[in-house]
Structure 1
Amino acid sequence: MFANHLSIVNFTLFTILTIGTSSFANAGLVLGFTGDYAPMNWTLDQNSGDGSVAISGAPASVSITSSNTGSGVFVNTDFSAIVTQSGTVSFAWEYLTTDSYASAEWDPFGYVLNGTFIQLTDDAGSISQSGNTAFLVSLGDVFGFRAQAIDDALGSATTTISTFSAPGTSNANVPEPFSIAIWGMIGLTGLAARKRHLHRTPSTEPMT
Protein backbone atom coordinates (compact mmCIF):
# COMPACT_ATOMS: atom_id res chain seq x y z
CA MET A 1 0.00 0.00 0.00
CA PHE A 2 2.74 2.42 1.01
CA ALA A 3 4.81 1.44 -2.04
CA ASN A 4 1.85 2.26 -4.26
CA HIS A 5 1.35 5.58 -2.45
CA LEU A 6 5.01 6.46 -2.94
CA SER A 7 4.80 5.60 -6.63
CA ILE A 8 1.78 7.86 -7.05
CA VAL A 9 3.55 10.73 -5.29
CA ASN A 10 6.67 10.26 -7.41
CA PHE A 11 4.59 10.17 -10.58
CA THR A 12 2.76 13.35 -9.54
CA LEU A 13 6.07 15.07 -8.81
CA PHE A 14 7.42 14.01 -12.19
CA THR A 15 4.29 15.36 -13.89
CA ILE A 16 4.57 18.72 -12.11
CA LEU A 17 8.23 18.99 -13.01
CA THR A 18 7.52 18.15 -16.64
CA ILE A 19 4.65 20.60 -16.99
CA GLY A 20 6.45 23.28 -15.00
CA THR A 21 9.64 22.94 -17.00
CA SER A 22 7.67 23.13 -20.24
CA SER A 23 5.87 26.27 -19.07
CA PHE A 24 9.14 27.78 -17.90
CA ALA A 25 10.71 27.13 -21.29
CA ASN A 26 7.89 28.90 -23.09
CA ALA A 27 7.13 31.90 -20.91
CA GLY A 28 8.62 33.91 -18.11
CA LEU A 29 9.93 37.28 -17.07
CA VAL A 30 13.53 38.27 -17.73
CA LEU A 31 14.81 40.67 -15.08
CA GLY A 32 17.60 43.01 -16.14
CA PHE A 33 19.61 43.17 -19.33
CA THR A 34 20.42 39.49 -19.46
CA GLY A 35 19.35 36.35 -21.31
CA ASP A 36 17.12 37.23 -24.27
CA TYR A 37 17.77 40.90 -23.51
CA ALA A 38 21.51 40.85 -22.85
CA PRO A 39 23.26 43.82 -24.55
CA MET A 40 24.56 41.58 -27.34
CA ASN A 41 20.95 40.93 -28.41
CA TRP A 42 20.21 44.61 -28.97
CA THR A 43 20.93 46.74 -32.04
CA LEU A 44 22.38 50.25 -31.88
CA ASP A 45 21.35 52.55 -34.75
CA GLN A 46 23.14 55.90 -34.74
CA ASN A 47 21.49 57.18 -37.94
CA SER A 48 24.69 58.94 -39.08
CA GLY A 49 25.11 60.65 -35.71
CA ASP A 50 27.48 59.95 -32.83
CA GLY A 51 24.93 58.89 -30.23
CA SER A 52 26.01 56.00 -28.03
CA VAL A 53 24.98 53.36 -25.53
CA ALA A 54 26.97 52.43 -22.43
CA ILE A 55 26.52 48.82 -21.29
CA SER A 56 29.10 48.74 -18.49
CA GLY A 57 26.27 48.81 -15.94
CA ALA A 58 24.55 45.75 -17.40
CA PRO A 59 22.73 43.66 -16.42
CA ALA A 60 21.47 46.20 -13.88
CA SER A 61 21.31 49.15 -16.28
CA VAL A 62 22.27 50.66 -19.63
CA SER A 63 22.62 54.32 -20.64
CA ILE A 64 21.79 55.96 -23.96
CA THR A 65 23.20 59.32 -25.07
CA SER A 66 21.85 61.51 -27.87
CA SER A 67 23.94 62.61 -30.85
CA ASN A 68 25.89 65.87 -30.74
CA THR A 69 27.89 66.22 -33.97
CA GLY A 70 27.00 69.85 -34.58
CA SER A 71 25.20 69.03 -37.82
CA GLY A 72 22.15 71.11 -36.95
CA VAL A 73 19.79 68.39 -38.20
CA PHE A 74 17.42 65.95 -36.50
CA VAL A 75 19.08 62.63 -35.45
CA ASN A 76 17.72 59.61 -33.59
CA THR A 77 19.85 57.20 -31.58
CA ASP A 78 18.02 53.90 -31.14
CA PHE A 79 18.83 50.83 -29.06
CA SER A 80 16.34 48.10 -29.95
CA ALA A 81 15.55 44.42 -29.44
CA ILE A 82 13.10 41.82 -30.70
CA VAL A 83 10.44 40.54 -28.27
CA THR A 84 10.76 36.80 -27.65
CA GLN A 85 7.48 36.30 -25.77
CA SER A 86 4.25 38.25 -25.37
CA GLY A 87 3.81 40.19 -22.14
CA THR A 88 4.79 43.45 -20.47
CA VAL A 89 7.99 45.48 -20.75
CA SER A 90 8.74 47.77 -17.84
CA PHE A 91 11.65 49.94 -16.74
CA ALA A 92 12.72 52.98 -14.75
CA TRP A 93 14.61 55.87 -16.36
CA GLU A 94 16.72 58.80 -15.23
CA TYR A 95 17.42 61.61 -17.68
CA LEU A 96 19.93 64.47 -17.66
CA THR A 97 20.62 66.95 -20.46
CA THR A 98 23.72 69.12 -20.85
CA ASP A 99 22.24 71.15 -23.70
CA SER A 100 23.40 74.78 -23.77
CA TYR A 101 19.81 75.98 -23.67
CA ALA A 102 19.30 74.12 -20.36
CA SER A 103 16.13 72.58 -21.76
CA ALA A 104 14.94 69.01 -22.25
CA GLU A 105 13.14 70.12 -25.41
CA TRP A 106 16.21 69.70 -27.61
CA ASP A 107 17.12 66.12 -26.64
CA PRO A 108 13.99 64.20 -25.64
CA PHE A 109 13.98 60.55 -24.54
CA GLY A 110 11.39 57.82 -24.91
CA TYR A 111 10.78 54.33 -26.19
CA VAL A 112 9.94 52.97 -29.63
CA LEU A 113 7.48 50.16 -30.36
CA ASN A 114 7.30 48.88 -33.93
CA GLY A 115 8.49 52.23 -35.27
CA THR A 116 6.22 54.42 -33.16
CA PHE A 117 7.99 56.81 -30.77
CA ILE A 118 6.49 57.46 -27.35
CA GLN A 119 8.21 60.40 -25.65
CA LEU A 120 8.68 60.10 -21.90
CA THR A 121 10.50 63.32 -21.07
CA ASP A 122 8.68 66.62 -20.65
CA ASP A 123 9.91 69.34 -23.02
CA ALA A 124 8.95 71.97 -20.44
CA GLY A 125 10.45 70.02 -17.56
CA SER A 126 13.78 70.39 -15.82
CA ILE A 127 17.14 69.27 -17.20
CA SER A 128 16.93 66.29 -14.82
CA GLN A 129 13.89 64.02 -15.03
CA SER A 130 12.93 60.47 -14.11
CA GLY A 131 10.04 58.06 -14.25
CA ASN A 132 8.73 54.53 -14.66
CA THR A 133 6.86 53.08 -17.59
CA ALA A 134 5.31 49.82 -18.78
CA PHE A 135 3.69 48.68 -22.01
CA LEU A 136 2.38 45.51 -23.63
CA VAL A 137 4.29 43.69 -26.36
CA SER A 138 3.69 40.65 -28.55
CA LEU A 139 6.04 37.98 -29.83
CA GLY A 140 8.08 39.38 -32.72
CA ASP A 141 7.55 43.06 -31.87
CA VAL A 142 10.54 45.37 -32.07
CA PHE A 143 10.94 47.82 -29.19
CA GLY A 144 13.74 49.96 -27.90
CA PHE A 145 14.95 53.17 -26.33
CA ARG A 146 15.39 56.38 -28.31
CA ALA A 147 17.48 59.46 -27.58
CA GLN A 148 16.49 62.22 -29.98
CA ALA A 149 18.67 65.16 -30.97
CA ILE A 150 16.49 67.90 -32.43
CA ASP A 151 19.45 70.01 -33.58
CA ASP A 152 22.32 67.54 -33.05
CA ALA A 153 24.33 70.37 -31.47
CA LEU A 154 25.05 72.41 -28.34
CA GLY A 155 25.09 69.46 -25.97
CA SER A 156 23.54 66.03 -25.52
CA ALA A 157 21.34 64.17 -23.05
CA THR A 158 21.97 60.86 -21.32
CA THR A 159 19.28 58.56 -19.95
CA THR A 160 19.97 55.57 -17.70
CA ILE A 161 17.49 52.70 -17.92
CA SER A 162 17.23 50.36 -14.92
CA THR A 163 14.85 47.93 -13.19
CA PHE A 164 14.24 46.51 -16.66
CA SER A 165 12.00 43.50 -17.18
CA ALA A 166 10.54 41.91 -20.30
CA PRO A 167 8.83 38.66 -21.32
CA GLY A 168 11.24 35.98 -22.51
CA THR A 169 12.56 32.47 -22.13
CA SER A 170 16.30 32.69 -21.51
CA ASN A 171 17.14 33.33 -17.82
CA ALA A 172 13.45 33.84 -17.05
CA ASN A 173 12.37 33.53 -13.42
CA VAL A 174 10.47 30.40 -12.36
CA PRO A 175 6.97 31.42 -11.18
CA GLU A 176 6.75 31.29 -7.38
CA PRO A 177 3.65 28.98 -7.24
CA PHE A 178 5.59 26.43 -9.28
CA SER A 179 8.46 26.48 -6.77
CA ILE A 180 6.03 26.02 -3.87
CA ALA A 181 4.39 23.07 -5.64
CA ILE A 182 7.74 21.40 -6.19
CA TRP A 183 8.79 21.71 -2.54
CA GLY A 184 5.37 20.55 -1.41
CA MET A 185 5.58 17.39 -3.49
CA ILE A 186 9.14 16.75 -2.32
CA GLY A 187 7.83 16.94 1.25
CA LEU A 188 5.05 14.46 0.46
CA THR A 189 7.57 12.11 -1.12
CA GLY A 190 9.69 12.20 2.03
CA LEU A 191 6.64 11.60 4.24
CA ALA A 192 5.56 8.64 2.14
CA ALA A 193 9.05 7.16 2.30
CA ARG A 194 9.08 7.53 6.11
CA LYS A 195 5.71 5.80 6.43
CA ARG A 196 6.96 3.00 4.23
CA HIS A 197 10.06 2.62 6.42
CA LEU A 198 8.02 2.54 9.63
CA HIS A 199 5.66 -0.02 8.12
CA ARG A 200 8.56 -2.36 7.42
CA THR A 201 10.32 -1.89 10.80
CA PRO A 202 9.83 -5.05 12.95
CA SER A 203 8.12 -4.60 16.27
CA THR A 204 10.47 -4.48 19.28
CA GLU A 205 7.77 -5.29 21.84
CA PRO A 206 8.50 -8.51 23.84
CA MET A 207 6.37 -11.48 22.91
CA THR A 208 4.16 -12.92 25.63
Structure 2
Amino acid sequence: MKLITTFTCVFLLFTSSLSANAAQINGFVDYYDENNWEVETYIDDYLDVYEDYSGFSNPPSVGINSEQIGLTGGSSVVGSLVGGGDSFARIEIIIPMNGTISFDWNYYVSGDELEIRLEPFGYLLNGTFFHLAADPDINYDYQQYYDYLEGQEGSVTITVEAGDKFGFTVFSDLTFLSRPDVNIFNFSAPAPESVPESNTLILALVSVSLLLTRKPGQSKYMKV
Protein backbone atom coordinates (compact mmCIF):
# COMPACT_ATOMS: atom_id res chain seq x y z
CA MET A 1 0.00 0.00 0.00
CA LYS A 2 2.83 2.40 0.88
CA LEU A 3 4.45 1.66 -2.48
CA ILE A 4 1.27 2.51 -4.37
CA THR A 5 0.67 5.62 -2.30
CA THR A 6 4.20 6.90 -2.84
CA PHE A 7 4.09 6.31 -6.58
CA THR A 8 0.72 8.08 -6.72
CA CYS A 9 2.11 11.13 -4.94
CA VAL A 10 5.15 11.25 -7.21
CA PHE A 11 2.95 10.92 -10.30
CA LEU A 12 0.64 13.72 -9.17
CA LEU A 13 3.63 15.93 -8.36
CA PHE A 14 5.12 15.28 -11.79
CA THR A 15 1.91 15.84 -13.76
CA SER A 16 0.97 18.96 -11.80
CA SER A 17 4.35 20.41 -12.72
CA LEU A 18 3.63 19.74 -16.39
CA SER A 19 0.23 21.40 -16.12
CA ALA A 20 1.61 24.40 -14.29
CA ASN A 21 4.17 25.00 -16.99
CA ALA A 22 1.76 24.57 -19.94
CA ALA A 23 1.30 28.24 -20.71
CA GLN A 24 0.30 30.91 -23.14
CA ILE A 25 2.76 33.31 -24.73
CA ASN A 26 1.61 36.90 -24.54
CA GLY A 27 2.77 39.18 -27.31
CA PHE A 28 4.87 38.49 -30.37
CA VAL A 29 7.86 37.12 -28.49
CA ASP A 30 9.64 33.78 -27.97
CA TYR A 31 8.04 31.25 -30.33
CA TYR A 32 5.94 34.05 -31.87
CA ASP A 33 8.89 36.35 -32.41
CA GLU A 34 8.89 38.24 -35.72
CA ASN A 35 11.59 35.97 -37.15
CA ASN A 36 9.38 32.89 -36.90
CA TRP A 37 6.50 34.16 -39.04
CA GLU A 38 6.10 33.59 -42.76
CA VAL A 39 5.43 36.94 -44.44
CA GLU A 40 4.10 37.48 -47.94
CA THR A 41 3.02 40.61 -49.83
CA TYR A 42 1.64 40.79 -53.33
CA ILE A 43 0.65 43.39 -55.91
CA ASP A 44 -0.40 42.64 -59.48
CA ASP A 45 2.62 42.19 -61.75
CA TYR A 46 1.07 43.99 -64.68
CA LEU A 47 1.50 47.28 -62.84
CA ASP A 48 5.27 46.89 -63.27
CA VAL A 49 4.99 47.97 -66.90
CA TYR A 50 4.01 51.42 -65.69
CA GLU A 51 7.36 52.17 -64.12
CA ASP A 52 6.93 55.90 -64.60
CA TYR A 53 4.14 55.76 -62.05
CA SER A 54 6.04 53.77 -59.45
CA GLY A 55 6.42 56.83 -57.26
CA PHE A 56 2.66 57.12 -57.04
CA SER A 57 2.08 53.60 -55.75
CA ASN A 58 2.17 52.22 -52.22
CA PRO A 59 3.04 48.52 -51.95
CA PRO A 60 1.43 46.38 -49.26
CA SER A 61 3.46 45.91 -46.09
CA VAL A 62 3.71 43.89 -42.88
CA GLY A 63 5.27 45.19 -39.68
CA ILE A 64 5.73 43.32 -36.41
CA ASN A 65 7.22 44.06 -33.00
CA SER A 66 6.85 42.49 -29.57
CA GLU A 67 3.45 44.11 -28.98
CA GLN A 68 1.62 44.22 -32.30
CA ILE A 69 1.39 43.31 -35.97
CA GLY A 70 0.54 45.94 -38.55
CA LEU A 71 -0.84 45.08 -42.00
CA THR A 72 -1.29 47.64 -44.77
CA GLY A 73 -2.89 47.01 -48.13
CA GLY A 74 -1.46 48.39 -51.33
CA SER A 75 -2.71 51.29 -53.43
CA SER A 76 -1.81 52.45 -56.91
CA VAL A 77 -2.50 55.45 -59.11
CA VAL A 78 -1.92 53.15 -62.07
CA GLY A 79 -4.46 50.67 -60.80
CA SER A 80 -7.06 53.39 -60.50
CA LEU A 81 -6.31 54.58 -64.04
CA VAL A 82 -6.30 51.25 -65.84
CA GLY A 83 -9.15 49.60 -63.99
CA GLY A 84 -7.97 47.73 -60.98
CA GLY A 85 -5.68 45.02 -59.74
CA ASP A 86 -5.20 43.04 -56.55
CA SER A 87 -2.94 43.36 -53.55
CA PHE A 88 -2.60 41.64 -50.21
CA ALA A 89 -0.40 41.42 -47.12
CA ARG A 90 -0.22 38.15 -45.19
CA ILE A 91 1.59 36.73 -42.15
CA GLU A 92 1.33 33.11 -40.89
CA ILE A 93 2.86 30.69 -38.39
CA ILE A 94 2.50 27.01 -37.36
CA ILE A 95 0.83 26.57 -33.95
CA PRO A 96 2.97 24.34 -31.66
CA MET A 97 0.34 23.07 -29.19
CA ASN A 98 -3.40 22.63 -28.70
CA GLY A 99 -5.01 25.61 -27.02
CA THR A 100 -6.57 28.98 -27.70
CA ILE A 101 -5.52 32.10 -29.55
CA SER A 102 -6.90 35.49 -28.58
CA PHE A 103 -6.23 38.97 -29.91
CA ASP A 104 -7.68 42.45 -30.36
CA TRP A 105 -7.73 44.25 -33.69
CA ASN A 106 -8.61 47.55 -35.31
CA TYR A 107 -9.16 48.40 -38.97
CA TYR A 108 -9.10 51.71 -40.82
CA VAL A 109 -9.50 52.50 -44.49
CA SER A 110 -8.48 55.78 -46.08
CA GLY A 111 -9.05 57.18 -49.57
CA ASP A 112 -11.99 57.12 -51.95
CA GLU A 113 -12.92 53.46 -51.65
CA LEU A 114 -16.70 53.15 -51.52
CA GLU A 115 -16.53 49.41 -52.13
CA ILE A 116 -15.36 48.51 -48.63
CA ARG A 117 -16.12 44.85 -49.32
CA LEU A 118 -13.16 44.79 -51.74
CA GLU A 119 -10.70 45.41 -48.89
CA PRO A 120 -11.48 42.78 -46.24
CA PHE A 121 -9.35 41.88 -43.24
CA GLY A 122 -9.45 38.65 -41.29
CA TYR A 123 -7.53 35.70 -39.91
CA LEU A 124 -6.43 32.53 -41.70
CA LEU A 125 -6.69 29.02 -40.30
CA ASN A 126 -5.24 26.24 -42.44
CA GLY A 127 -5.80 28.31 -45.57
CA THR A 128 -9.41 29.26 -44.82
CA PHE A 129 -10.16 32.99 -44.59
CA PHE A 130 -12.42 34.22 -41.78
CA HIS A 131 -13.28 37.86 -42.35
CA LEU A 132 -13.41 40.26 -39.41
CA ALA A 133 -13.79 43.61 -41.17
CA ALA A 134 -15.24 44.53 -44.56
CA ASP A 135 -17.43 41.54 -45.39
CA PRO A 136 -16.80 40.69 -49.07
CA ASP A 137 -20.42 39.52 -49.40
CA ILE A 138 -22.01 42.85 -48.44
CA ASN A 139 -22.62 45.88 -50.64
CA TYR A 140 -21.98 48.68 -48.18
CA ASP A 141 -24.02 51.86 -48.39
CA TYR A 142 -22.71 55.38 -47.89
CA GLN A 143 -23.45 55.42 -44.17
CA GLN A 144 -21.56 52.19 -43.63
CA TYR A 145 -18.68 53.58 -45.67
CA TYR A 146 -18.43 56.63 -43.44
CA ASP A 147 -18.64 54.39 -40.39
CA TYR A 148 -15.61 52.55 -41.72
CA LEU A 149 -13.74 55.82 -42.03
CA GLU A 150 -14.19 56.12 -38.27
CA GLY A 151 -12.56 52.71 -37.86
CA GLN A 152 -13.64 49.23 -36.81
CA GLU A 153 -12.38 47.11 -33.94
CA GLY A 154 -12.99 43.82 -32.20
CA SER A 155 -11.72 40.93 -30.09
CA VAL A 156 -11.35 37.29 -31.10
CA THR A 157 -10.78 34.00 -29.28
CA ILE A 158 -10.50 30.73 -31.22
CA THR A 159 -9.47 27.14 -30.50
CA VAL A 160 -6.47 25.72 -32.35
CA GLU A 161 -4.58 22.44 -32.53
CA ALA A 162 -0.90 21.62 -32.80
CA GLY A 163 0.17 21.82 -36.43
CA ASP A 164 -2.49 24.33 -37.48
CA LYS A 165 -1.31 27.13 -39.72
CA PHE A 166 -2.64 30.43 -38.40
CA GLY A 167 -2.24 33.97 -39.61
CA PHE A 168 -3.66 37.33 -40.62
CA THR A 169 -4.29 38.90 -44.01
CA VAL A 170 -5.73 42.05 -45.55
CA PHE A 171 -6.71 42.49 -49.19
CA SER A 172 -6.80 45.65 -51.26
CA ASP A 173 -8.43 46.38 -54.60
CA LEU A 174 -6.37 48.79 -56.68
CA THR A 175 -9.30 50.27 -58.59
CA PHE A 176 -9.54 53.01 -56.00
CA LEU A 177 -6.92 55.03 -54.15
CA SER A 178 -7.84 53.60 -50.77
CA ARG A 179 -5.57 51.75 -48.40
CA PRO A 180 -6.66 49.56 -45.47
CA ASP A 181 -4.59 49.60 -42.29
CA VAL A 182 -4.87 46.94 -39.59
CA ASN A 183 -3.33 46.53 -36.15
CA ILE A 184 -3.37 43.27 -34.14
CA PHE A 185 -2.46 43.49 -30.45
CA ASN A 186 -3.02 41.86 -27.03
CA PHE A 187 -2.06 38.62 -28.74
CA SER A 188 -1.95 35.39 -26.74
CA ALA A 189 -1.29 31.89 -28.12
CA PRO A 190 -0.16 28.42 -26.95
CA ALA A 191 3.46 28.00 -25.96
CA PRO A 192 5.49 25.06 -27.29
CA GLU A 193 5.34 21.79 -25.32
CA SER A 194 6.47 22.42 -21.76
CA VAL A 195 8.78 20.32 -19.63
CA PRO A 196 8.77 19.92 -15.84
CA GLU A 197 10.96 22.23 -13.84
CA SER A 198 14.30 20.58 -13.08
CA ASN A 199 13.94 20.79 -9.30
CA THR A 200 10.53 19.09 -9.40
CA LEU A 201 11.83 16.31 -11.64
CA ILE A 202 14.84 15.74 -9.37
CA LEU A 203 12.58 15.56 -6.31
CA ALA A 204 10.40 12.94 -8.01
CA LEU A 205 13.39 10.81 -9.02
CA VAL A 206 14.95 10.98 -5.55
CA SER A 207 11.65 9.94 -3.95
CA VAL A 208 11.38 6.90 -6.20
CA SER A 209 15.04 6.00 -5.61
CA LEU A 210 14.66 6.10 -1.82
CA LEU A 211 11.53 4.01 -1.99
CA LEU A 212 13.12 1.30 -4.13
CA THR A 213 16.30 1.05 -2.04
CA ARG A 214 14.54 0.78 1.34
CA LYS A 215 14.28 -2.78 2.59
CA PRO A 216 10.89 -4.15 3.70
CA GLY A 217 10.24 -3.29 7.31
CA GLN A 218 13.25 -0.97 7.47
CA SER A 219 12.75 2.05 9.67
CA LYS A 220 13.25 5.42 8.16
CA TYR A 221 15.28 6.33 11.25
CA MET A 222 18.91 5.24 11.68
CA LYS A 223 19.72 3.25 14.78
CA VAL A 224 22.47 4.62 16.99
**What is the TM-score normalised by the length of structure 2?**
0.61
Q: 1:138 Cα deviation (Å)?
A: 0.9
Amino acid at match of 2:120: P
CA distance in 1, matches of 2:183, 2:20: 30
Aligned-CA RMSD value? 3.1
- 1:82 corresponds, among 71, 91, 94, to 94
1:28 to partner: Cα distance: 1.8
Whether the aligned pair in 1 keeps the contact of 2:43 and 2:85 (CA below 8 Å) is no
The residue identity in structure 1 corresponding to 2:152 is Q
Query: 3-state DSSP class of the match of 1:46?
Result: strand
Aligned to 1:41: 36
**Which ranges of 4 or more aligned residues in structure 1 deviate by more than 6 Å?**
none
Distance 2:185 2:41 in 1: 21
- 1:137 and 2:149 equivalent? no
User: How many angstroms does 1:20 deviate by?
Assistant: 4.7
Give, in angstroms, the shift of residue 122 of structure 1.
3.5
| SS at 1:139 equivalent | coil
The code of the aligned residue for 2:69 comes to V
Deviations 1:5-36 (A, max 9, x none): xxxxxxx79x73x54554456x3211111111
Structure 2: runs of 5+ lacking an equivalent: 1-8, 45-58, 201-224
The answer for the alignment partner of 2:62 in structure 1 is: 53
Aligned twin of 1:200: none
| 1:43 counterpart letter in structure 2 | E
State the Cα distance separating 1:99 from its structure 2 match. Answer: 2.9
Write the distance in 2 (CA, Å) between the matches of 1:152 and 1:43: 28
**Counterpart pick for 2:74 among 67, 83, 88:** 67
Q: Shift of the alpha carbon at 1:103? A: 5.5
Matches within 5 A, 1:1-208: 16=13, 18-23=14-19, 27-48=22-43, 50-55=59-64, 58-69=65-76, 70-71=78-79, 72-101=84-113, 104-123=116-135, 124=140, 125=144, 126-127=148-149, 128-151=151-174, 153-169=176-192
User: 1:22-66 CA deviation, whole Å, 9 max, x = no partner?
Assistant: 4456x32111111111111111111346211122xx222121111
Give the secondary structure class of the aligned counterpart of 2:75.
coil
Equivalent in the alignment of 2:55: none
Superposed displacement of residue 87, structure 1: 1.1
**Count of residue pairs the alignment pairs up:** 161
Shift of 1:102: 5.2
Q: Structure 2 counterpart of 1:116, which letter?
A: T
Contact 1:97 1:103 (C-alpha < 8 Å) held by counterparts? no
CA deviations 1:128-165 (Å, max 9, x no partner) are 10001121111111111101113365121111101111
Partner residue of 1:195? none
Which structure 1 segments of 5+ residues have no match? 1-11, 175-181, 183-208
Aligned equivalents of 2:87 and 2:186: distance in 1? 27
TM-score normalised to structure 1 length: 0.66
Question: How far apart are the structure 2 equivalents of 1:152 and 1:20?
Answer: 57
Deviation at 1:106, TM superposition (A): 3.2
Identity %: 28
Select between 81-90 and 122-131 the one with higher mean Cα deviation. 122-131
Q: Name the residue aligned to 1:198.
A: none
Amino acid at match of 2:62: V
